[in-house]
Amino acid sequence: MTKHKCRFCDAPLTESFCDLGMSPLSNAYLRPEDLDRMEPFYPLHAYVCGECFLVQLEEFESPQQIFSDYAYFSSFSDSWLKHAQTYAEQMIARFSIAGGHQVVEIASNDGYLLRNFVARGIPSLGIEPAENVARVAEENGVPTWTRFFGRETARELVAAGKQADLMAANNVLAHVPDINDFVAGIKIALKSGGVMTIEFPHLLRLMAGNQFDTIYHEHFSYLSLISTEKILAHHGLTIFDVEELGTHGGSLRLYVRHAENAALPVSAQVAAVRQAEREAGLDVLATYAGFHERVKETKRKLLVFLIEAKAQGKRIVGYGAPAKGNTLLNYCGIRTDFLDFTVDLSPHKQGRFLPGTHIPILAPEAIAEARPDYVLILPWNLRDEIQQQMAHIREWGGQFVVPIPEVCVLP
């Protein structure tokens, strides 16, 4: 039992969804000089609200602490860049976005998405709280405001004449502790006839695919259509269409308008996804109760594989240093006794160490030098892209391993 309240509806949070023990912030990568210092760990325990079915973590660190100096740069994934390019092409075609319109992206990172609009001469503005990341976006020609988004920033947009015809929020709604302030800001910043798109990992897919590693402190909320629809409606916004995407293990893209904008009718797909969630029991508390047992079984199977491989003298390294990987490794207690190192394409992570486990992060070339027997793919959602990049491991008999939904050695 807990006295904590739902971040949307303020109902008491008493129902546990998944308890992953104590864990550091998943993007708090360590420099060599940090290794001998105390490292903060926080409870990683997700609850589900019995009133609105929003799955959520408590807030232990402020967004300012988490995101002011951020190690994640979107442009280091080819598949994600392609996703952004396709998005821009689709939005321009569907909503006739042109040079007389204003595009705004919330949590715009290094400009990976907006640069597709800038290249077409469409006025674009990014809102990005991480100064180091926003600086890269500016250098790449994407105008960027360095601040968090909410009511205050939305009013600044209106005052500056930058109210949006198209707003995008990819994988950010889950990252805001004050979800009501964020959504209220959308209502203010979106033009009366404007369109907002919101993408997030789908809770239905998280549960079906046992994707517990996507639970980490930077993700304050875990979203379904059922819960998100309630939050948006409370602030005068309506979902008029929805797409199911393959990104991040299965995501939703919501198309959102002002409730009073009847020019954009609600598609049948909204009812279809809502019905699929109800058939899966996402509006019934009992559905959430069994998830943690599946998580524990996945942990056991992964550890059995690693223990047996090490007992046979096999060498194992990781690929990637994603936040989800840090949840997995810390929950399972996997350190350098199992993984010699991991590698990452981002130079912003190379030379650092994973939080909690202190596994070193090297450049991808280190894998060819080490010639390991197994490469554990930590960003399993990019498994196809990584298998193509690292296909040469098969030259010495190396094999790829994915840990989610349960450990599997890829052929």
DSSP 384-410: HHHHHHTGGGGGGT-EEEE-SSS-EE-
Neighbours of 98 (CB within 10 A): 12
Residues of the chain with CATH 3.40.50.720: 310-409
pLDDT at residue number 3:
55
Beta pairing, strands 124-127 & 103-106: parallel
Looking at the chain, the whole-number percentage of residues with pLDDT higher than 70 is 96
Q: Is 0.85 topped by the overall pTM?
A: yes
> What distance in Å separates the CA atoms of residue 332 and residue 186, rounded to the nearest whole number?
39
> What distance in Å separates the CA atoms of residue 147 and residue 131, rounded to the nearest whole number?
8
- Rg, Å, the chain Cα set: 21
Alpha helices, DSSP H, located in 192-347: 203-208, 225-234, 268-279, 291-311, 323-332
> What distance in Å separates the CA atoms of residue 105 and residue 285, rounded to the nearest whole number?
34
> What distance in Å separates the CA atoms of residue 315 and residue 339, rounded to the nearest whole number?
8
CATH for 310-409 is 3.40.50.720
pLDDT at residue number 211:
96
Write down the number of H helices and E strands in the chain. Answer: 13, 17
Q: At residue 81, what is the residue type?
A: L
The one-character DSSP state at 360 is B
Q: At residue 209, what is the residue type?
A: G
pLDDT at residue number 329:
98
Beta pairing, strands 144-145 & 221-222: unpaired
Q: Can you list the residues of the chain whose pLDDT is less than 50?
A: 1-2
Q: Whose CA is closest to 382, among 246, 251, 281, 229?
A: 246
Angle between the 268-279 and 225-234 helix axes, to the nearest 10 degrees?
130
The whole-angstrom distance between residue 352's C-alpha and the CA centroid of its chain comes to 21
CATH class of 67-288: alpha beta
Determine if the peptide bond prior to 123 is cis (ω within 30°). no
pLDDT at residue number 1:
36
Residues of the chain with CATH 3.40.50.150: 67-288
Beta pairing, strands 15-23 & 42-48: antiparallel
User: CA geometry: angle at 269 spanning 290 and 291, to 5°?
Assistant: 5
